[in-house]
Amino acid sequence: MSGVGIAVLALGLVVFAGPVLARLFRRQAESDVADDYEPTVTVVTPMFNEGENIRRTIRSILAQNYPAEKLHVIVVDDCSTDDSYQHAMDESRHTQRAVVLHNRVNLGKRCSINRAVRQSTSDIIVSVDSDVILDPDAVRNLVRRFISPRIAAVGGRVDILNRENWLTRMQAVEYYFGYQFLKGLERAFRAVMCLSGCLTAYRRSVLLELEPLLERRNILGVAIKYGEDRFLTRQIIKAGYETTMTLDAVCRTTAPSTLLGYFAQQLRWRRSNIVDYVGGMSHVWRLHSVVAVHYYSVFALILAYPVLLLQSLMNGTFWTLMTIHVVWAAGLGILYRAQVRKLPADRRVSAFDALPLAIVLPVSYAVMTLLALLTLDSAKWETRGHAAPDALPADGDEEPASVATAVPANPVPLSVARPTGVLARGSSNLTGPEVALLNRTRRVIKRKLVETRRQLSASESWPALTTAPRVSHGERRK
């Protein structure tokens, strides 16, 4: 075996030894709960082109086993180009606990959540993706894990909803091991480095504290959307708070059912892994040594694995390596079956559904990792097909929330006159050249505004302008 192979094997043993190490060094018992803690909760669901599926998400939130007077819902439509907004309005209009916000420009997931956080007054904010369905006790099981003021975020477990073909069933196995095993060590030390936006509860005060960091995240000056959940979790830990998760809070998400969709998702995740593992180098070493070694080992394995595959292609041992992958995947399938045999039939898949991992994962972690390294400054969301918003001017005062419109659950229809030929923003009738022209015009206007501000800052009239009252466009700044 080559030196690279030995290194990958050693790193793999360290990474997958996490569950064993978690049991040896466990600090947090699963029984550590605060059943008498019932704070006010707002569930925030950012939405883009979710269509009719947003209805089932809203229904599952409103049906939570939690005091109704303490649970509210805010849905943020991030400039959907389909009928998602209308579906959300129709589903929310029958209750005073649900509010729908509509962004005038596409802000991205994190900025949309920040918009809702400022709108809310609850103690706890629960982030829920727009394509998931919550188990009835999901919110309660999240909240009861806030047993200490130091715990700033609690994540839940994500399962696959659409087990319709071999790819989605394979992902069910992948998700199971991701939550049951790979996060076990970090959970034991209350230092979970990535809490999924599908289902995570945060202290609102911490989100407000970290908001400036989240609003202006970029790479090489390009605003990015991918990896927002991982970035937020890491910033919480960096600020000195604790993060944990519970397997009792469950949501079910719609997984990509095609290889194109799956690899687009994996590309986004690989970018996120690389960016935030590099970012974590500066502070993860301050955590417990076991957590730090595990964290660095995972990153090293992500980078070393493509090298191993490339070396095997060059020295003629590729098929031997693939045979090892098949044996490994078969072992995972057997272990998975042993773990889930007592679950209902609709909550588990076959052991054979783990076998495709032997082929899919090498592509995901090798080819996608190399491609991710070359596209780290991409602003694309990949699975949604739209780009991140242009970065706000570095010296700008206006919050992204100021370009969003709060819409009550029962709005009064307004008739707005438009000149003939002028299309609403986000209209599907816009052609490619028209969209490009609009974007170029917007960038030119923004650049001129920045230049004007810089000229004013050098003039004597600037102090008078900066002390004048500012208009918040419908919402008082906090």
Interval 49-107: pLDDT, tens: 999 999 999 999 999 999 999 999 999 999 999 999 999 999 998 899 999 999 988 88
Return the pLDDT at 308.
85
The candidate with the shortest Cα–Cα distance to 223, out of 448, 400, 453, 477, is: 400
Residue 217 has pLDDT above 90, yes or no: no
Query: Has residue 424 got a pLDDT over 60?
Result: no
The CATH number for 25-256, chosen from 3.40.190.10, 3.90.550.10, 3.40.50.10190, 3.40.50.300, is 3.90.550.10
Q: What is the spatial distance between Cα 62 and Cα 134, in angstroms, rounded to a whole number?
A: 10
Model confidence pLDDT, tens digit, residues 19-64: 666 666 665 555 688 889 999 999 999 999 999 999 999 999 999 9
Rounded average pLDDT over 205-221: 82
Taking alpha carbons only, the member of 410, 329, 308, 399 closest to residue 11 is 308
Helix (H) or strand (E) run with residue 433 in it: helix 432-457
Collect all residues with Cβ–Cβ distance below 8 Å to 478 and sequence separation of at least 6.
118
- Report percent pLDDT > 70 for the chain: 71
pLDDT digits (tens, 9 = 90+) for 248-267: 999 999 999 999 999 999 99
> Is the per-residue pLDDT at 469 higher than 70?
no
- DSSP letter at 402 equals G
Residue 290: the pLDDT is 83
The answer to whether 349 touches 343, Cβ cutoff 8 Å, is no
Helix (H, G, I), strand (E, B) or coil at 246: strand
What are the pLDDT digits (tens) for 126-153? Answer: 999 999 999 999 999 999 999 999 999 9
Tokens of 87: 């579906």
CA angle centred on 30, ends 24 and 31, rounded to 5°: 125
Edge-to-edge strands, sheet with 124-128: 132-134, 242-253, 151-160, 199-203, 124-128, 41-47, 71-77, 98-103, 404-407
Give the whole-angstrom CA distance, residue 314 versus residue 406: 58
Q: Amino acid identity of 344?
A: P
Q: What are the residues facing 244 on neighbouring strands?
A: 154
Which among 189, 185, 127 is positioned nearest to 158, based on CA atoms? Answer: 127
Q: In angstroms, rounded to a whole number, what is the distance separating the alpha carbons of residues 146 and 202?
A: 9
Helix (H) or strand (E) holding 133: strand 132-134
pLDDT tens digits along 354-376:
999 999 988 888 888 888 888 87
State pLDDT tens for residues 149-168.
999 999 999 999 999 999 99
Contact 103, 115 (CB under 8 A): yes
d(CA 223, CA 378): 8
Structure confidence at residue 379 as a pLDDT band (50, 70, 90)? low
- The C-alpha angle with vertex 217 and arms to 214 and 218, in degrees rounded to 5, equals 170
pLDDT digits (tens, 9 = 90+) for 431-444: 555 566 666 666 66
* pLDDT at position 233: 94
Does position 310 have pLDDT exceeding 90, yes or no? no
Q: What is the pTM of this model?
A: 0.77
Helices (H), 98-165: 109-119, 138-143
